[in-house]
Amino acid sequence: MNAPILTYVTFLPLLGVLAILFLPQKSEQSKNIIRGVALVTSIVTFIVSLWIYAGFNPDIAGFQMVENHSWIPSYGISYHLGLDGISFWLVLLTTFLTPITILSTWSAIEKRVKEFQIAMLVLETAMLGTFVALDLFLFYVFWELMLIPMYLIIGVWGGERRIYAAIKFFLYTAVGSLLMLVCIIGLVYFHKEQTGVLTFNLLEFLNTDLPRLYELLFFASFAFAFAIKVPMFPLHTWLPDAHVEAPTAGSVILAGILLKMGTYGYIRFAMPLFPEGCAFFTPALITLSVIGIIYGALVAMVQPDIKKLVAYSSVSHLGYCMLGLFVLTRQGVEGSILQMLNHGISTGALFLLVGVVYERRHTRLIKEYGGIAKIMPAYATVFLIVTLSSIGVPSTNGFIGEFLILLGTFKVNKAAAVLAATGVILGAVYMLWMFQRVFYGKVTNPKNLNIPDLNLRELVYLAPLIVFIFWIGLFPNFFLNKMHKSVDHFIGQVQVTQHQLAQVDSDYAALDSIKEIIPLRSK
Amino acid sequence: MSNLGFSFSLAQLWQVCGGQILLIIAGLALIIADILLLGRDKSSRTGIIGWITIGSLVAIVLHVMFRQWNVEQTGIGGIFSADRFTTFLCAVVIMSGILAALMSLGYLKNNKLPHSEYFILLIFAVYGTVAFIQSVDLLMMFITLEIMSIAVYALAAFIKACRQSQEGAFKYFMLGSFGSAFFLFGMALLYGFTGTVNLSQIAKAISVGGLFHQPAILLALAMLMIGLFFKMAMVPFHMWTPDVYEGSPSVVTGFMATAVKAAAFGVFIKVLFVAFSPLLSTQSGFSATASLVGLEAYWKPVVWWAALLTMFIGNLLAVSQKNVKRMLAYSSVAHAGYMALGILAANAEGRAGILFYLFSYTLMNLGAFGVLYIIDGVERGAQTLGDYKGIGFKYPGLAFLMSLFLVAMAGLPPTADFIAKFYVFSAAIKEGYMLLAALGIMTSVFGLYYYLRVIWMMYMEEPERDVRAGTLTAPTLVAIVVAAIGVIYLGILPEGLATIASAAQAGLAVVF
C-alpha cells in the first residue's frame, strides 16, 4: 500500500470545498446543488476511507500506512501521519458520520447553505487530521483548525443564545490547548537536551525522561486541555450550552466526534507521553470520571429540554470512557474505545432524532409533547431502539461498551465500578422517563396531532446508525479484533513504566529505612 | 574606523547604502515631478505620483533584496552597515511601504484627499526607516529616527479637516519627542563614558574591566531602552498608540504599526545585542576583555516584565474597545509584547523569530487596515463594532479577508502568525522562560476573544444600519490579496522565510 491513503482521506473534503466555493447560491436549486456536492464529497471520502479498512492489518501493534515528510526541517517538524488500532475506528466513525450529518441538514439549514457546507467539510478535514497526526505540531495545527468552523457552525446557524455558546466553546477549548502548546514546546526542548535532536515526532518522545515535576506539570496541562474537550466534570459547562444552541448537525458532529478528540488525546498523547504523571493523577481522574457519570445522569434527569438531556447524558457517557481508560486493563481500554464509537453512533442518532421533531414543531421541551408514538410510529420505533442503545440494553452496542468498562474497572477498583454501575441505572431512569413522557399516553397538545412521520431521507440517514447499533451489539469482536494489539501495546507503554516507578519507589523506601538505621547505629 | 576621509569611497557607499541613495533620489525626483505636473488636476497628479512611488519602491526593494543581501560591511566610516539582518528588515520596511502606497491610491480617492505630497512624505518615511535600521552609530540613529518620525508625524496629521487626526499627530509628536529625548540622554551619557557612539566600539569600551557594572552605563542603557520602547509601543510607554493609531489615516496607521515597529525592534536588537550583549564578546576581538554576559542580569528582568505587561495590558484593553481601529491599535501593543519574548530569549531562534514575526505581522496588519479603510467608506465612516454587524453577508469578500487577517492575528493555524508566535514562544521556552510563556499565551485568550468578536459581529448579528463600503480599487485589491496569500502561504510553508530569517539574524554578528 504505497499510495498516501491517509492524506487522500484527510484532504478529500477540501476538494469539495474548492468546488463549492465557485457555486452560486441564489435559487433553491443552486442550494440543492451545493448540498449535493457536499454530500457526494463526504460519501466519496467515506468510500475512500474503506480502503483504509481493507488495508488495515490488525496484527500490527504499531502505526500503519505511515507517511512521513519533512515539513519545517529547522524545527524538526514533519508531516507525519499514521494509524493504529486505536485511531482506526475513530477515523472511520468520522467519515461515516459526516455524510449522515450533511444529509440531515438538507432542510434544516435554509440560509447560507454554501458557508455551512464549507464549514462542515473543513471541519471534517480537521477532525480526520487530528486523528491521524503523529507529529505534535501537526496535531496541534489540526486541533486548532477544528475550532473556527465549529465556532461558526454554532454561532451562525445556532439557536437564540448561540453567540454566548459559541464564544464559550471557543474560549474553553482555546485556554486548554494554548497551555498544551507551551508544554509541547517544553517537552521538545527537554527531549533536545537529552538526545540532541530537535523533533516534534510523537514516537520519539515516548522514551524521554523528564524531571518528575515537569512530568506532572506537563501531564496536568495536557490532561486539562483534553479534559475540557471530553468534557470532564467540572469542566463540562460549555457542553450543554454548545449542544443546545448548535444546529442539529453541529450537535451531532460535536457529540459524535469532537468529544472523542479529548479521550483520544488521553490515549494517544497524555498517557503514553507522561506515564509517571498519569500514575500520579489516576486516582483524581477516576474520581472525577465517576462523579461525572453520576452527576451527568442526575442532571440529565431533571432537564425539561430533550436536547439538553442528551447533552448531559454525554457527560455521563464520556465519564465511562475516561474511567475505562484510567483503570488500564485490556477490557477497560477496549471498552472505552468501543464506548467512544457507541456514543458517537447512539448520541449522534439521538441528536438527529431530536432535530427531526424540532424541524416539525420548533420546540424541544418535553412537556410540549406526549403520546406522539401514535402519530409517528416509525419515528417512535427508531427513537426507542436508540434509547435502548443509549441505556445499554443487551444486544445493543451500549451494553458491550459499558459492560467491558465495568468489567475492567471491577478488576482494579471495585468501589469505582460499583459507583459507576449506578450510572447505568440512572441512565435507564432518565432516558426511559423522557421516552415515556414524549411518546406514551394521550396526545395532550393539539399541535402534535398532525406531525408527519419520518420521510425517506430521514430514514436513509438513520438506518445505517441502527444497523451499527445492532452490529456492534451482536458482533463486538468484529470491532474489538482490530484494536487488541494496539491496546495491549498502549497498556504496556503506560504500565511498564509505572511498574518501574513502583520499583524505584520501593528502592527509595528501602534506602530511607537504611538511612534510619544508620544514624541509630552511629549512636 | 571613525576616520571619515580614510574609509570613504563611492563604490563602498553604493554597496552599503544603495537602497538609501535610491530612496533619496526617488524622493527628490518625486518633488520635481510634482512641480512639473502642476498644470494637471489634483487627483490625476496624485495618481501619477503614487504610481511613480510604487514603481520606485518596487525597484528599490529588488535592489535591496538582490544586491545588498550578500554585502556584509560597514560604510562611511562605520555609520551605516549593510548586513543580512538590516537588509532583511529594510526589505520588510520597503514592502510595508509598497503595500501602503498601493492602498493609499484608493484611500486618498475614497477620502477625497488628492494631495500628491502624501506619497513624497511616505517615501521619505521609508527612507528614514531604512536609514534608521542601517545605522550602527547612535548619533546617526538619532538623526534618522527623527527623519523617520517627522515624516510619519506629518502623515498622521494628513486629514487636515479631522480633529482626531490632528490630535493624534500632535500627541505622537509630543510623546515621540519625549521618547527621543530619552534616547538622546542615554547616548550622551554613553558618549561621556566611552568616548564613542559606535555600537561595536561601545561594546569594546564597556567590557574593559567590567565597566558596564557602573550605574551610569546602566542608566544610559535604561534611557536608550526607554527611547526605543516608545517607538516599539511597549508598556508602559504605549500610551500614545491608541490615539495616534485611531486618529491617523488607516493606511498610515498600518504603515506605522508595521514599518516603524519593525525598525524600532531592529534597532533595539542591534543596540542590545551589539553594544550591550555577549553576542560579540564571544568573538575573537574580545578575548582580552571582560565578557558582557553579566549585563543580562540587569536588562533581562526589565524585558521580562515589560513583555508580560505589554502582552497583558495590550490584550486586556483591546477587549473593552468599541472601535475596531482602536482595538487593532491595542492589539498591536500586544503583538509588541509577543515579539519581546524573542528579545528576552536572546538566542538565535528568538531573533530569527522576531524577524519572521515582523514580516508576517506586516502582511496581516496592513491587510487588515486595507480592508478596514474600505469598509469605512470615508475615514470614521464605519469603524465601530456596531457598524460591523451583519456585513459578513453583505460584503462576503471583504468580510472573509478581514476574518482571515483577524484569525491570523489571533495566532490560529494555519496562518503566518501562528508560526511566528510559535517561533518566539519556543525561543523563550528554550531558554527556560516557561512561566512567562504560559502567562503570555494565556493573555492571547483575550486576543482570541476580541478578534473573534469582530467575526461574530460580521457573521452572527443582524445589521444595525446600512453600511456603505467604499470603492475597492485594483491596487488596493492587489495589496490585500497579496497580503492574504502571504499570510496563508507562510502559515503552511514557513520554512523558506524562516531559513532566510535565521540567515539574517546570523548576519548581526558578522559586520562588527
Give the tens place of pLDDT for each residue, A57-87. 888 888 888 888 888 888 888 888 888 888 8
Give the tens place of pLDDT for each residue, B289-311. 556 667 778 888 899 999 999 99
Angle at A479 between CA A81 and CA A428, to 5 degrees: 115
Cβ contacts (< 8 Å) between A171 and chain B: which residues?
445, 448-449
Cα B306 to Cα A407, B221, B225, B228: the distances in Å are: 55, 15, 11, 13
Q: And the C-alpha cell for B243?
A: 490615539
**Chain A interface with B: residues with Cβ < 8 Å:** 71-75, 112, 137, 140-141, 144-145, 147-148, 151-152, 155-156, 162-163, 166-167, 170-171, 174-175, 178-179, 181-182, 185-186, 188-189
First to last CA, chain A: 73
Nearest to A226 by CA among A287, A165, A166, A289: A289
> Does B504 touch chain A if contact means CB atoms closer than 8 Å?
no
Give the tens place of pLDDT for each residue, B90-126. 999 999 999 999 999 988 888 888 888 899 999 999 9
Q: Is the pLDDT of residue A498 over 70?
A: no
B504 vs B356: CA distance, rounded Å: 10
B361 vs B367: CA distance, rounded Å: 9
Encoded amino acid at B212, one letter:
F
CB pair distance less than 8 Å for B460 and A151 = no
CB pair distance less than 8 Å for A141 and B414 = yes
CB A21 within 8 A of CB A118: yes
pLDDT at B511 (0 to 100): 56
Burial class (CB in 10 A: 0-12, 13-18, 19+), A363: middle
| Portion of chain B with pLDDT greater than 90, in percent | 36
The total of other beta-carbon atoms located within 10 Å of residue B67's CB is: 15
Encoded amino acid at B232, one letter:
M
Please give the full DSSP string across B276-325, using - where no structure is assigned. SSHHHHTSGGGTTS--GGGGHHHHHHHHHHHHHHHHHHHHHHHHT-SBHH
Closest CA–CA distance from residue B86 to any residue of chain A (Å) = 22
User: DSSP character for B395?
Assistant: S
What's the mean per-residue pLDDT of chain A?
Answer: 85
Residue A497: band (very low, low, confident or very high) from pLDDT cuts 50, 70, 90 = low
Mean pLDDT to the nearest integer, A233-253: 87
Of A72, A151, A162, the CB nearest to B494: A72
Nearest to B357 by CA among B449, B270, B444, B261: B261
pLDDT at B7 (0 to 100): 54
Query: What is the b/e burial string over A465-492, where b = at least 16 CB atoms within 10 angstroms of the residue's CB?
Result: bbebbeebbeebeebbebbbbbbebbbe
Q: Measured in whole angstroms, how far is the alpha carbon of residue B244 from the centre of its chain?
A: 15
List A133's β-bridge partners, or say none. Answer: A81
Give the tens place of pLDDT for each residue, A13-54. 888 888 888 888 778 888 888 888 888 998 998 998 888 888
pLDDT at A520 (0 to 100): 44
pLDDT at A522 (0 to 100): 43
Please give the full DSSP string across A302-349, using - where no structure is assigned. T-SBHHHHHHHHHHHHHHHHHHHHHHT-HHHHHHHHHHHHHHHHHHHH
CB pair distance less than 8 Å for A155 and B449 = no
pLDDT at A2 (0 to 100): 66
- List Cβ neighbours of B136 (8 Å cut-off, separation of 6 or more): B74, B78, B79, B80, B81, B198, B199, B200, B270, B274, B511, B512
Mean pLDDT to the nearest integer, B476-501: 91
Among B341, B395, B404, B460, most A C-beta atoms within 10 A, so best to mutate, is B460
CB A285 within 8 A of CB A192: no
Closest CA–CA distance from residue A443 to any residue of chain B (Å) = 38
Residue B183: band (very low, low, confident or very high) from pLDDT cuts 50, 70, 90 = very high
CB pair distance less than 8 Å for A152 and B448 = no
A206 vs B208: CA distance, rounded Å: 49
- List Cβ neighbours of B44 (8 Å cut-off, separation of 6 or more): none
CB B277 within 8 A of CB B292: yes
pTM recorded for the entire structure: 0.89
Mean pLDDT to the nearest integer, B447-475: 86
The total of other beta-carbon atoms located within 10 Å of residue A455's CB is: 11
pLDDT at B311 (0 to 100): 92
Q: Is the pLDDT of residue B238 over 80?
A: yes
What residue in A sits closest to B500 (Cα-Cα)?
Answer: A74
pLDDT at B484 (0 to 100): 93
Give the tens place of pLDDT for each residue, A363-380. 888 888 888 888 888 888
Mean pLDDT to the nearest integer, A292-314: 89
Query: What is the b/e burial string over B96-110, where b = at least 16 CB atoms within 10 angstroms of the residue's CB?
Result: bbbbbbbbbbbbbbb
Q: Is the pLDDT of residue B146 over 70?
A: yes
pLDDT at A499 (0 to 100): 54
Q: Is the pLDDT of residue B362 over 90?
A: yes
B3 vs B5: CA distance, rounded Å: 6
Structural Rg of chain A based on CA atoms: 24
Cβ contacts (< 8 Å) between B444 and chain A: which residues?
178
B353 vs B341: CA distance, rounded Å: 9
| Portion of chain A with pLDDT greater than 70, in percent | 94
pLDDT at A521 (0 to 100): 44
pLDDT at B349 (0 to 100): 87
Please give the full DSSP string across A354-374, using - where no structure is assigned. HHHHHHHHS--BGGG--STTT
Q: And the C-alpha cell for B369?
A: 487596515
Give the tens place of pLDDT for each residue, B18-77. 888 999 999 999 999 988 888 888 888 888 899 999 999 999 999 888 888 887 777 777
Q: Is the pLDDT of residue A246 over 70?
A: yes
What residue in A sits closest to B390 (Cα-Cα)?
Answer: A156
> Does B442 touch chain A if contact means CB atoms closer than 8 Å?
yes
